[in-house]
Homo-oligomer: A and B are copies of this chain.
Amino acid sequence: MDAVPPPSLPDPFALVSDQLRPLDELLSDLVGSEHPVLTRVAQQFFDLSGKRFRSTLVLLAAMAANGGRPGNAQQQQLAEITEMIHAASLLHDDVIDMTDTRRGAKSAHRIYGNKVAVLAGDFLLARASVLLSRLNDTRVVELQATAIEEMVQGEVMQLKASPQELLQMDHYVNKTYRKTAALMSLACQASAKLGGCEPKVEAALQAYGRHLGIAYQVVDDLLDFTGPSDTLGTTLGLPALSHLKQGLATAPTLFAADEFPEVGAMVQRRFGEEGDVAAVSRLVAASDGLPRTRELATNHAAQAAAALGVLPPSAARDALLRLCFDVLNRKA
């Protein structure tokens, strides 16, 4: 049975919902009415960023670092900036990967073309820079810019891995940190910095974000093999196998390669031969790859939870703890 959040832990999204500005207000601040095309693209991507997970995370980190009291205006601004950087990375990822769909919707570059997707991403990054600079804290600008660099370097690691690196679990985890977890980790750290926390609190929130982000992505990689399911575990669709189809080995495949050497050979040729994707999918299912991947995610979630230990007790700390279980519980 999967980990289930104890009902006594508060809902992370409910706890900060009154600190998240309404989306239309945020968008109108962001792009004004001058550029309806950019507004539409931004709107679409804020919609797709769903629950504004990263904003929620930054606001909870601010509260937890502050003994449970709501974050200050700077921290609330940081929450919006972090979501903007995430949206920009989605826009640029779509151009990069030639993805046809994102969460079922047509991806922006198919609707508007590469042109507008690259421009809208650049626009969001530039606007994020302006807003960051107004926070008047150089260290915070540096943390957020470092997060963007990590995301880029993670993409490059993925693109340019040598055949040997493709088989290394360390390489996979490092890439996963950079692509997904770095923004969460460094935004949590920046949030603590803006609250004037002591260094050990800042370090704890950075570690929390890092491990939570890795767990989040590892579960994503697992779902790519198992397919979406409802809360009772009933399968709702076919596994996407999108990473295999892109030539990418993730945790389930790497664990399977421990048991089946032929998987390793297929990883190193990026599943480039006829039948490779189906064969790997079958061998992963026959191996301990899926349970070992779940264990990997669970261990990172546990490390995230452990990092919270230095924070004073508060509803916000409990909500951060609950996220450690919620990420393991994702069904789609």
B contact residues around A98 at 8 Å (CB): 114
In the bound complex, how far is the Cα of B127 from the Cα of A123, in angstroms?
A: 16
Kindly state whether residue A282 has any CB partner on chain B within 8 Å: no
Residue of B nearest to A115 (CB): B96
Kindly state whether residue A57 has any CB partner on chain B within 8 Å: no
Kindly state whether residue A130 has any CB partner on chain B within 8 Å: yes
B contact residues around A118 at 8 Å (CB): 92, 95-96, 118
**How many whole Å from A141's CB to the nearest CB in chain B?**
3
On whether the beta carbons of B95 and A156 are closer than 8 Å, the reply is no
A154-168 contact mask (Cβ, 8 Å, vs B): 1 or 0: 011001100000000
In the bound complex, how far is the Cα of B116 from the Cα of A97, in angstroms?
A: 11
In the bound complex, how far is the Cα of B161 from the Cα of A37, in angstroms?
A: 11
8 intermolecular pairs with C-beta atoms under 8 Å apart: A37-B159, A37-B160, A122-B148, A122-B152, A126-B148, A127-B145, A134-B138, A136-B138
B contact residues around A127 at 8 Å (CB): 145, 149
On whether the beta carbons of A122 and B119 are closer than 8 Å, the reply is no
Residue of B nearest to A135 (CB): B138
B contact residues around A121 at 8 Å (CB): 122
On whether the beta carbons of A142 and B133 are closer than 8 Å, the reply is yes
Residue of B nearest to A112 (CB): B159
**How many whole Å from A89's CB to the nearest CB in chain B?**
8
In the bound complex, how far is the Cα of B122 from the Cα of A34, in angstroms?
A: 25
A92-107 contact mask (Cβ, 8 Å, vs B): 1 or 0: 1001111000000000
On whether the beta carbons of B142 and A130 are closer than 8 Å, the reply is yes
Within 8 A of B (CB), among A223-244: none
| Copies of this chain in its oligomeric complex | 2
**How many whole Å from A171's CB to the nearest CB in chain B?**
13
From B92, B138, B153, A133 is in contact (CB under 8 Å) with B138
On whether the beta carbons of A119 and B156 are closer than 8 Å, the reply is yes
Q: Which residues of A contact B (CB under 8 A)?
A: 34-35, 37-38, 92, 95-98, 114-116, 118-119, 121-123, 125-127, 129-130, 132-134, 136, 138, 141-142, 144-146, 148-149, 151-153, 155-156, 159-160
From B92, B129, B132, B156, A35 is in contact (CB under 8 Å) with B156
From B122, B148, B151, B153, A92 is in contact (CB under 8 Å) with B122
In the bound complex, how far is the Cα of B80 from the Cα of A136, in angstroms?
A: 22
Residue of B nearest to A128 (CB): B145
In the bound complex, how far is the Cα of B141 from the Cα of A248, in angstroms?
A: 38
In the bound complex, how far is the Cα of B130 from the Cα of A184, in angstroms?
A: 18
In the bound complex, how far is the Cα of B142 from the Cα of A127, in angstroms?
A: 9
- A129-B141, A132-B141 known, 10 other contacts, Cβ within 8 Å: A35-B153, A95-B114, A116-B156, A119-B159, A123-B152, A126-B145, A126-B146, A130-B141, A133-B142, A136-B138
B contact residues around A96 at 8 Å (CB): 114-115, 118-119
In the bound complex, how far is the Cα of B155 from the Cα of A126, in angstroms?
A: 14
In the bound complex, how far is the Cα of B141 from the Cα of A129, in angstroms?
A: 7
